[in-house]
Amino acid sequence: MGYSWDFQTVWEYRQVFVRGAIITAQLTFWATLIGTSLGLFLGLMRRSDNAALRYPAAIYIESFRSTPILVQLVWIYYSMPILTGLQMGNIMSCAIGLGLHCSAYVAEIFRAGVNSIEKGQWDAAHAIGMRYPKLMLRIILPQAIRRMIPPLINEFATLIKLTSLGSVLAVNELLHEAENLINNTYRPLEIYTAVAIAFAIMIYPFIYASQRLERHWKIRS
């Protein structure tokens, strides 16, 4: 039985894909912003000598890492308005959910990056009388960030893919738009193929850049 592919339909509805891709990009942007800033903060807290900072960070990070993101998203979507009293749009609550999820992983990347710096660097900075904020900003982070960038880009690529879960919350991102289109056109194979290609076009440049950057640093050091 031959299946006759019809990509003409996909092309006719290309605007729908563009519209979805824009929402996907918006979700990614906000989630990245929340994820990295909160993640750096959590990573610092988790490395703290102070147990009152360390334990809450650890509990946060491990709960987000050990539960399914879909459950987290749905939970945040329904509980946020109850807990905060704020009525949020589904795009915003999805971005917040993705951002909170992502921050747990960013915190771990941050921690691993900082821990990878030789103890001698801390000793040398302490020995000249440096204190924590300057020691971090001037000695440890400039070295650690290089080691953090490849895994951070990886996490970013993962995040773009995770935005497709927004479809469950009726966020009109790429996948959700595509599913609506399937209901109208009955061309699931072509449309899912197009969705996959659209994601690949968005994600691959970052993976490529990460590989180039890693090679560049390997040569320099």
Q: Which of 65, 126, 161, 216 binds another protein (CB under 8 A)?
A: 126
Nearest CA-CA partner of 39 in 115, 103, 99, 114: 103
| Window contacting another protein (CB under 8 A); options: 102-110, 131-139, 196-204, 210-218 | 131-139
How many angstroms separate the Cα of 53 from the Cα of each of 42, 45, 60, 62, 110? 9, 5, 11, 15, 16
The answer to the question of residue 129 lying near another protein (CB under 8 A) is yes
185-193 LR contacts (CB < 8 Å, sep 24+): 185/9, 185/13, 187/6, 187/9, 187/10, 189/3, 189/5, 190/5, 190/6, 190/7, 190/9, 190/10, 191/9, 191/10, 193/10
| Window contacting another protein (CB under 8 A); options: 57-65, 97-105, 139-147, 190-198 | 139-147
Q: Which of 4, 120, 186, 218 binds another protein (CB under 8 A)?
A: 120
Binding mask 168-197 for another protein (x = CB under 8 A): ------------------------------
The answer to the question of residue 86 lying near another protein (CB under 8 A) is no
The tokens describing 137, both together, are 């900003």
Is the Cβ of residue 134 or residue 212 nearer to another protein in the bound state? 134
Contact 190, 10 (CB under 8 A): yes
The answer to the question of residue 213 lying near another protein (CB under 8 A) is no
The answer to the question of residue 106 lying near another protein (CB under 8 A) is no
Nearest CA-CA partner of 40 in 111, 116, 133, 99: 111
Q: Which of 51, 118, 183, 218 binds another protein (CB under 8 A)?
A: 118
- Interface ranges with another protein (CB under 8 A): 118, 120-121, 123-132, 134, 138-139, 142-143, 221
